[in-house]
Amino acid sequence: MKVGIINVTGYTGVELARLLYQHPEVKLTSVTGRSAAGQKLGAVFPHLAGLELTISAELGDVELVFSAMPHKESAKEVIPLLGKGIKVVDISADFRLKDSSQYKQWYGFTHPAPRLLGEAVYGLTELYRAKIASSQLVANPGCYPTGAILALAPAVKAEIIEPDIIIDSKSGVSGAGRSLNLQTHFSEANEDVSAYALEGHRHLPEITQELKLLSGEKSLAVSFVPHLVPMTRGILTTCYAPLVSGKKEKQLKELYLDFYKDEPFVRVVDFPPHTKHTLGSNFCLIYPTVDQRAGKLIVISVIDNLVKGGSGQAVQNMNLMLGLPETTGLGAPAIYP
């Protein structure tokens, strides 16, 4: 099956190309990137020289497309493709939110096709597997929401926590993208940790939307603070919430093990995981525990922000949309050391 990538020159796009390079059931036949149009993919990214593709300004003939364009720009590319009957996995935020008015508030633009927001399926495979398999348009989740929602989903759905939730996430600098940015300049980011977007990160409405659906539309108070740490890849998320009753750590572990028992890419572990434990892989590791003194749930999750938090999850969604086993091409373990 022929697939294409719009905007292969960003970190998510080039990671997609790497994963599709070794995929046994699809062939990457077309990649675009305006800044590098006309150049060989291997000249821009030497590690992908084996693909023997030329970066174009326009897509060729494909059956499924990944759009790795920035928000606002992605919708303009996706809408015409849907009209042609092409399946799309959109990696931007342009189809994640169901309320079109939130795009003006959080992303600064008026959504060009509000009707499609109801048709798009949120691409967190662990929650929407059946819908993804029959969808033409999948909205790939953001990296921060992936780690946070997977960490909290069992507790929220089982109603064992109060609605006052705190999410603390720490991400590597690749999450900021490949464009030049003073904040991610080596001299600025190295040997430094900083919090940002305390007034409200644009991934917050996405997190709240999905947790609210899991809670049966009950109101939730979610505080989310992201941090930038001096590493290339990885997100470590720590979630806190008061327990509604005296749940014991063993009961909590059993709840999480049961919730994720059939999930190929989520592992409930017996120790606080490190970001390096998922480096380069499509796995999410989750460690739930209880602070008995404070009566609070604490859950830690780790993912590679460019794989399970981006391109790997996109391939997982593609597999379902094309009727393939969702693990196809994604079974590699983390890179160590």
The confidence band for 182, taking pLDDT boundaries of 50, 70 and 90, is confident
Segment 283-329, tens digit of pLDDT:
999 999 999 999 999 999 999 999 999 999 999 999 999 999 999 99
Mean pLDDT over each residue of the chain, to the nearest integer = 96
One of 82, 132, 143, 255 is an active-site residue; which one?
Answer: 143
Q: Which residues contact 152 (CB under 8 A, 6 or more apart)?
A: 165, 167, 211, 239, 241, 299
Segment 153-180, tens digit of pLDDT:
999 999 999 999 999 999 999 998 888 7
The confidence band for 131, taking pLDDT boundaries of 50, 70 and 90, is very high
Q: What pLDDT, on the 0 to 100 scale, is given for residue 248?
A: 74
125-133 vs 312-321: helix axis angle to the nearest 10?
A: 30
Gap between the Cα atoms of 100 and 113, Å rounded: 9
DSSP string computed for 307-325: IIIIIHHHHHHHHHHTTS-
Share of the chain above pLDDT 90, in %: 93
Do 139 and 124 form a contact (C-beta atoms < 8 A)? no
Q: Which residue has the higher pLDDT, 207 or 247?
A: 207
Q: Is the pLDDT of residue 202 over 70?
A: yes
Mean pLDDT of 206-222: 95
Global pTM reads 0.96
Domains of the chain: 2-141+308-321 (3.40.50.720), 143-305 (3.30.360.10)
Mean pLDDT of 246-261: 89
- What 3-state class would DSSP assign to 230? coil
At position 18, the amino acid (one-letter code) is R
Whose CA is closest to 142, among 221, 79, 235? 235
At position 74, the amino acid (one-letter code) is S
Segment 5-22, tens digit of pLDDT:
999 999 999 999 999 999
Gap between the Cα atoms of 196 and 243, Å rounded: 28
Q: Is the pLDDT of residue 246 over 70?
A: no
DSSP state of 70: P
The confidence band for 249, taking pLDDT boundaries of 50, 70 and 90, is confident
Q: Which residues contact 293 (CB under 8 A, 6 or more apart)?
A: none
End-to-end CA distance of the chain: 35
The confidence band for 43, taking pLDDT boundaries of 50, 70 and 90, is very high
Segment 76-119, tens digit of pLDDT:
999 999 999 999 999 999 999 999 999 999 999 999 999 999 99
Mean pLDDT of 260-265: 97
143 is known as an active-site residue:
yes
Mean pLDDT of 209-228: 95
Q: What pLDDT, on the 0 to 100 scale, is given for residue 87?
A: 98
- What 3-state class would DSSP assign to 102? helix
The confidence band for 218, taking pLDDT boundaries of 50, 70 and 90, is confident
